[in-house]
Amino acid sequence: MAIDIDQPGLAGDGNSDDGFARLFEAHWPQIHATLTRLVGDPDEAEDLALETFWRLYRRPPRDRGAGPGGWLHRVAMNLGFNALRSRRRRQGYEQTGGAAWLETTAAPSPEEAADRRETQARVRLTLLELPEREAQLLILRHSGFSYPEIAGALKVAPGSVGTLLARAEAAFETRWRAVGEDQGERR
């Protein structure tokens, strides 16, 4: 079916859209079917077919000798291949991201889990042997609190938090070694 694409309305100039409507009705089934076979998803094919006709409406081809059918199919195929390439890239990103996530969140081996439980128990014992304020300082800092927040929580001068924290860390290290030696003797 030959449609005059020079007809007003085809390039979106606000005039009659009858020519574009006839062109759309004539070519839609074949463009949609071609894209469905290409991308394998009727909904995605519909989106791509609509984009194809939108491009024709907004900016018709300059070479109008061959008619719009070939142009429509070429644009549709290009959009379809672009969609497939995009899908492949997205799947690659998702697989890479998923694998990285699995590696970082994978369940620890039984040996790692046992080591972690032992370390946690040792940390708790060490904290229990420290003065309460030093233990609180270390826990708050390890939990991500800033110096002003720690000062407010423990009711100390903000300028003294750094010094108090350094002393608490030194005391913890000393007790950590002692607790480790005590646990080593029990085994």
Q: pLDDT band for 45, please (50, 70, 90 cuts).
A: very high
Nearest to 133 by CA among 160, 106, 109: 160
Q: pLDDT band for 64, please (50, 70, 90 cuts).
A: low
Nearest to 48 by CA among 82, 85, 22, 11: 82
Does residue 54 surpass a pLDDT of 90? Answer: yes
Q: pLDDT band for 65, please (50, 70, 90 cuts).
A: low
- The architecture that CATH gives domain 110-186 is Orthogonal Bundle (1.10)
Displacement of CA 61 from its chain's centroid (Å): 38
Q: Which residue has the tokens 């195929």?
A: 77
What are the residues whose beta carbons fall under 8 Å from the beta carbon of 84, sequence distance 6 or more?
A: 38, 39
- The architecture that CATH gives domain 18-104 is Orthogonal Bundle (1.10)
CA dist 111 and 102 (Å) reads 19
Q: What are the start and end residues of each CATH 1.10.1740 domain in the chain?
A: 18-104
Phi, psi of 17 (to 5 degrees): -105, 15
CA dist 48 and 36 (Å) reads 9
Q: What is the mean pLDDT of residues 38-61?
A: 92
The whole model's pTM is what?
0.47
The pLDDT of residue 62: 78
139-167: pLDDT as tens digits: 999 889 999 999 999 999 999 999 999 99
* 8 Å CB contact between 68 and 107: no
Q: What are the start and end residues of each CATH 1.10.10.10 domain in the chain?
A: 110-186
CA dist 128 and 5 (Å) reads 84
* 8 Å CB contact between 48 and 83: yes
Q: Which residue has the tokens 């708790």?
A: 124
80-131: pLDDT as tens digits: 999 999 988 888 888 888 777 777 776 778 898 899 899 988 998 898 889 9
Does residue 72 surpass a pLDDT of 70? Answer: yes
Phi, psi of 174 (to 5 degrees): -65, -50
Does residue 10 surpass a pLDDT of 60? Answer: no
The pLDDT of residue 113: 87
Nearest to 72 by CA among 84, 98, 54: 54
